[in-house]
Amino acid sequence: MIIQNKIKISSIKNNFIAFIAFTLPLNKNLLPLIIIITMLLWLFEAKFNEKYQLLKSPFFILSIGFYLLHLVGMFYTNNMEAGSFDLEQKLSLLIFPLLFFSDPHFNHESLIKVLKSFVLGCVLAGIICGLNAFLKYYLSGESDVFFYAHFSVIMHTSYFAMYLVFAIILLLFNDYVIRISTLRALILMFFILLIVLTSSKSGLFSLGIVLMSKFIYDIFIHKSYLRVFVLFTILFFSAITIYFLLPKSFERLSEMKQNISNSRSEINTTTSRIAIWKHASKIISKHYLIGVGTGDVKDALKSEYDKQTVSEFGEKKLNAHNQYLQTFIALGLPGLLILLSLLSVIVYFTYRHKMLDGTLFTTIISFNMLFESMLETQAGVVFIAFFLMLYLSEATKYIRTKNTNIVA
């Protein structure tokens, strides 16, 4: 009877894990509650001895190492309030490794359910954004409601585009997610249209990387030349059609090209990011060994902005707009090395075990971190921690199980 109850609890817990994936693109306010319930089910599930053996894996230690280093950074930070908030914000980097690495019964079917749930959540999020835009257009007659921040009403365009790019990766490299090819193609084109409407520069570049990877994969691995030709033709003519019908969606790319050659531009443009990176590099040069501490990054950046007479950056409390620089400022070289090591390990093991969706996902995340401090917001850190830990735990499951058997 007790065993049956534990099995039921495990099943419910796995359903909640899938619910987390579904909710990610839809409602950030609901996510903390779902995560708390999932962790309570993890506790009620018991099996602590079995979980403890699995958590002795070096991969788990590496996974939580990044969060633990933020705890260490609290010992020499001055702004304890900001540091405490940062630890709370990044709690997913501790919770999800604990959740995924300690579950020996999270199988392939459970993984597919999670991935399907995420794709479905993205579809629903896209429909909500589209309906909202049409309603605003009906009321105002302004076409701007279909583009950029006006269109992406659930979250910032960079994060929404990143979610959609990952969903496209799942559709292109994991046939189990949507088995019906026609439906998969329709959803794929819908997601591409949504990315264009978000006008996210990093999203469009990421999409290009994904599509190019698909072409290369089909040509050199599957030898599917006809499929590549058909897909390329469809995408080419679709791009031309979108360019002429929705020219505003490409304006931000033109803006980026123009701003790179200018000396000064409006906050949040490409030029502003470059300026912020230069200021961040100056801080790093002074604190490259251990950083300024978990809670002092924004204070250090604001001080540097004020010195360089760009106080508008400080007034906006802008972060480094680059996760690698952000981590380098906070935790120094050890923090940067752990972050890079974690990303590299995930790429290696997902590729080794032919989980190409996980490999490409990690690559895209690594690319997007060049332009946004994605672990500094809930929309970024929960999404990234959830799927990175999911893929790493699955890709290393055989090795972890083997090591556990040896210890036992």
pLDDT tens, position by position, for the chain (408 residues)? 555 556 688 889 999 999 999 999 999 899 999 999 999 999 998 888 888 888 988 999 999 999 999 999 999 999 999 999 999 999 999 999 999 999 877 888 999 999 999 999 999 999 999 999 999 988 888 878 888 888 899 998 989 999 999 999 999 998 889 988 889 888 998 999 899 888 888 888 899 899 988 888 888 776 776 666 766 776 676 667 666 666 655 555 555 444 444 444 444 456 778 888 988 999 999 999 999 999 999 899 888 887 765 566 766 677 888 999 999 999 999 999 999 999 999 999 999 998 999 999 999 999 999 988 999 999 999 999 999 999 999 998 867 655 554 444
Residue 331 lies in a domain: yes
In which domain, by residue range, is 165 found? 2-101+110-256+322-407
> Tell me, what's the pLDDT at 360?
95
Residue 153's contacts (CB-CB under 8 Å, 6 or more residues apart) are 128, 129, 132
Q: Are 294 and 74 in contact (CB under 8 A)?
A: yes
Asked if 308 and 300 touch (Cβ cutoff 8 Å), the reply is no
What is the predicted pLDDT for the residue at 262? 46
Cα 312 from Cα 237, distance rounded (Å): 43
What is the model's pLDDT at position 244? 62
Closest alpha carbon to 70 in 47, 91, 46: 91
* 271 within domain boundaries: no
Q: Which pLDDT belongs to residue 106? A: 83
Q: Is 375 contained in some domain?
A: yes
Tell me what pLDDT residue 219 has.
83
Residue 275 lies in a domain: no
- Look at residue 298 and tell me if it is in a domain: no
**Predicted local confidence at residue 199, as pLDDT:** 82
Please report whether residue 334 resides in a domain.
yes
Structure tokens at 37: 């319930």
Number of CB atoms found within 10 A of residue 6's CB: 14
Q: Say if 384 falls within a structural domain.
A: yes
Split into its structural domains, the chain has a count of: 1
Instruction: Record the pTM.
Output: 0.90
pLDDT attached to residue 36: 96
Half-sphere exposure of 225 (CA within 13 A, CB side): 0
Question: Is residue 303 in a domain?
Answer: no
Q: What is the pLDDT of residue 260?
A: 42
